[in-house]
Amino acid sequence: MPHVTVQYTGNLEAETRMGDLCRALASTLVAQKDAQGKPVFPIGGTRVLAYPAAQYAVADDADDYAFVYVNVRIAAGRSEEAKKKAGDELLAVLKSHFEPVFSQRHIGITLQIDESPGQVYDGKHSNLHPLFNKS
């Protein structure tokens, strides 16, 4: 982890490059360092996926409003300072990415970070982590 899910109204599909946003969010997470300069999140566990909603209703439907919901799911164990810093930097990436859209239409953006304190089941099968754990 972190695993990021971006859900957005389909009317944004032609107005922005969501792949660029995914890469920018992933890069921001990978760049996070703790007070000792160690990575806050594992590179191999960082995933960002984006999904357009073909069907949606936003506000009162009086206009072709847009909405973006970003959920970041992280495992427990990071300091409050590290979580806030990551959230602030991710929100800055979202604001920057969608600035051109803000000048053209009404849009809402929500970013939430959920921390998993204890999981009932956490099955994994991956050969990604060994690529980045060469210490």
Q: What tens digit of pLDDT does each residue of 30-87 get?
A: 999 998 999 999 999 999 999 999 999 999 888 889 999 999 999 998 999 999 999 9
The range of the structural domain enclosing residue 76 comes to: 3-132
Determine the pLDDT at residue 127: 64
Structurally, how many domains does the chain consist of? 1
Examine the pLDDT at 124 and tell me if it is beyond 90: no
How many CB atoms sit inside 10 A of residue 7's CB?
A: 16
d(CA 123, CA 29): 23
CATH code for position 62: 3.30.429.10
Question: Measured between alpha carbons, how far is residue 61 from residues 10, 11, 57, 93 in Å?
Answer: 14, 13, 6, 27
Examine the pLDDT at 135 and tell me if it is beyond 60: no
Q: What is the average pLDDT value for the chain, to the nearest integer? A: 91
d(CA 18, CA 51): 9
